[in-house]
Amino acid sequence: MNVPTMIRRILLFAFFFLFVGTSAFAQNQELEMIVNADQGETTISRHIYGHFAEHLGEDIYGGFWIQDDNGNWQYNQQVIDALKEVNVPNVRWPGGCFADYYHWQDGIGPRDERPAQLNTIWGGVTEDNSFGTHEFMGLIDRLDTEPIIVGNVGSGTVEEMNDWWKYLNHAGPSPMADLRAENGREEPWGVKYFGVGNESWGCGGQMRPQYYADLYKRFAEYLRPMSGTEPYQIAAGPSGDNYEWTRTMMEEAGWMIDGLDLHHYTVVGTWEDKGSATDFTEAEWHTAMQDTRFMDELLTRHSNIMDQYDPEKETALIVGEWGMWHDPMPGTEPGFLKQQNTLRDAVVAASMLNVFNQHAERVRMANLAQTVNVLQAMLLYEDGQLVKTPTYHVFDLYQGHMDATLLSMDVDRGTYTHDGESTPAISVSASKDDQDRVHITLANKDPNQPRTISVDLRGQDVSSVSGRVLTADQMNTHNTFEQPNRLQPTSFDGAELDGTTLTIEMPSKSVVALELQ
Ligand code: AHR
């Protein structure tokens, strides 16, 4: 080796030791956790793993509802099959903002006689109303899931909403039950989850909370128990940290609200310039991770306010819209909100779901926005091809938590620091199902460093651990129509059980789901 080469190598070694090696020592902390497997009380409602399908872009038309070669509308079987694999517990419809523009009677009766409307809120496209109440309920049957219908307060009337309620739920004879039968459905559907408007502070009518609280009571009053269906009434909740909204709603109308519907999106940049879904820096990754902590703050603070009015926690806090909102995919109609979905979206989804689980006592429903082709979609569909996004795979990994019992934990989350800003590195939740299997889901938000986690499992003897992991080399790895399986869960061999101690080697930027029995 000549002298300049030797010097180069020494300098390289010194550089590595100083800047890479030491930061590795500083950040690759060994973390400790305790899981109390015999001390769970609260059920993690399966409805936390819920979904949302709006008449927006290619979610309904071109997603769930597609045309055959002759132009006839039909259900998209590929979408239905994929969603059934992850046991979707509910679907919220028809919006979103669209709900406060929608007149349900346009979407019943013979399809070729339904009036066309303009979807003025999303892209100014023609809404042909070929997907209406019967088609939505047909989708619900095929998915074997629970419907959540959102009624129109912003541009509708009490009578219109009340008629929809009767059309859905009255056994008859009655004008609405007879009309339903004329349209091919004799039996009532028994839809209990009903939203009284959407985002009434914004696209749902730009209302003050005091005004909406009064309107809510007026509309909700007429959603009465009907032919054996007990209504579950959902009020438009706050936008993000609008605590005043929550306080006013609980004070003025809390006793009439079954679920208060908070909406919060993860926007990395500004609303005008949100940033690319696929082309982002580590700083933008870090900001997204910080938002998962903000969700915890939102749920804590809104719950604290609700506790003051409702200590028994009878009213649920719902997160009816959540997910990452990026700039639209280049070349697509901006009003269609179509975006790609990378490992970053998956780690955010995993962390958010862990946060919801931890708040399961108050948070009993949540809906990812949205299901197909829109925002943080579960599925992308185009011309007969389907892609399962990284976010879809997170919902698959987390299935064990649905209706399981939340376990208490003592957790050292470590820190992930970037540019002097720190956020917890590890997100985790644990539950026990009705067959005594313990489920632990974790996300390592640090894109650079793995973490070793030592878990002391108390209160239950287990003899085996198995798991799956979702990870990749690059922060922006994603699935495309050309490469649909680039990112999918694989079997995880980084967990070892020694008596009651479980050691987990969490790769950087990863999601892991473990099952112990
Ligand atoms: O999910 C897209 C839109 O975001 C919804 O229509 C609206 O409720 C929210 O502002």
Cis (ω within 30 of 0) for the bond into 399? no
Listed residue (478, 370, 358) closest to 413, CA to CA? 358
Query: Where are any strands of DSSP class E within 123-219?
Result: 125-127, 146-151, 193-196
pLDDT value for 22: 38
The two tokens of residue 143 are 């998915």
Nearest alpha carbon, ligand 1 atom 2: 96
pLDDT value for 1: 44
pLDDT digits (tens, 9 = 90+) for 446-465: 999 999 999 999 999 999 99
Residue 96: CB within 6 Å of ligand 1?
yes
- With a cut of 60, say whether residue 82 has pLDDT above it: yes
Report DSSP state, residue 362: T
Name the residue with higher pLDDT: 282 or 4: 282
Angle between helices 390-397 and 343-358 (to 10 degrees): 30
Q: Can you tell me which residue has the tokens 């309920």?
A: 137
Nearest alpha carbon, ligand 1 atom 5: 96
Nearest alpha carbon, ligand 1 atom 6: 96
pLDDT digits (tens, 9 = 90+) for 203-260: 999 999 999 999 999 999 999 999 999 999 999 999 999 999 999 999 999 999 999 9
- With a cut of 50, say whether residue 17 has pLDDT above it: no
pLDDT digits (tens, 9 = 90+) for 264-298: 999 999 999 999 999 999 999 999 999 999 999 99
Mean pLDDT of 25-38: 81
**Residue 474, number of CB atoms within 10 A of its CB:** 12
pLDDT exceeding 90 applies to what percent of the chain? 94
* Separation between Cα atoms, residue 128 and residue 382, nearest integer Å: 20
- With a cut of 60, say whether residue 299 has pLDDT above it: yes
pLDDT digits (tens, 9 = 90+) for 373-406: 999 999 999 999 999 999 999 999 999 999 999 9
Ranges of each domain in the chain:
29-41+407-516, 46-402
Measure the N-to-C terminal CA separation of the chain; round to a whole number of Å: 57
pLDDT digits (tens, 9 = 90+) for 331-348: 999 999 999 999 999 999
Q: How far is the CA of 216 from the centre of ligand 1 (A)?
A: 19
Q: How far is CA 462 from CA 74, 437, 514, in A?
A: 48, 9, 13
Residue 100: CB within 6 Å of ligand 1?
no
Of all atoms in ligand 1, which is nearest to the CA of residue 97?
A: 6
Kindly list the catalytic residues: 199, 321
pLDDT value for 47: 98
Q: Can you tell me which residue has the tokens 């003592």?
A: 410
| Domain 29-41+407-516 falls under CATH 2.60.120.380 | no
Q: Which of 119, 321, 376 to mutate to test the pocket of ligand 1 (most atoms within 8 A of CB)?
A: 321
Q: Do domains 29-41+407-516 and 46-402 have the same CATH topology?
A: no
pLDDT digits (tens, 9 = 90+) for 47-71: 999 999 999 999 999 999 999 999 9
Residue 95: CB within 6 Å of ligand 1?
yes
Nearest alpha carbon, ligand 1 atom 7: 96
Of all atoms in ligand 1, which is nearest to the CA of residue 337?
A: 2
- With a cut of 80, say whether residue 15 has pLDDT above it: no
pLDDT value for 28: 62
Angle between helices 343-358 and 282-309 (to 10 degrees): 20
Query: Residue 72 — very low, low, confident or very high, per pLDDT cuts 50/70/90?
Result: very high
- With a cut of 90, say whether residue 133 has pLDDT above it: yes
pLDDT value for 29: 73
Query: Residue 23 — very low, low, confident or very high, per pLDDT cuts 50/70/90?
Result: very low
Q: What CATH number should be reported for the domain whose range is 46-402? A: 3.20.20.80
Angle between helices 209-221 and 243-253 (to 10 degrees): 40
Q: How far is the CA of 205 from the centre of ligand 1 (A)?
A: 13
pLDDT value for 370: 96
Residue 54: CB within 6 Å of ligand 1?
yes
Mean pLDDT of all residues in the chain? 94
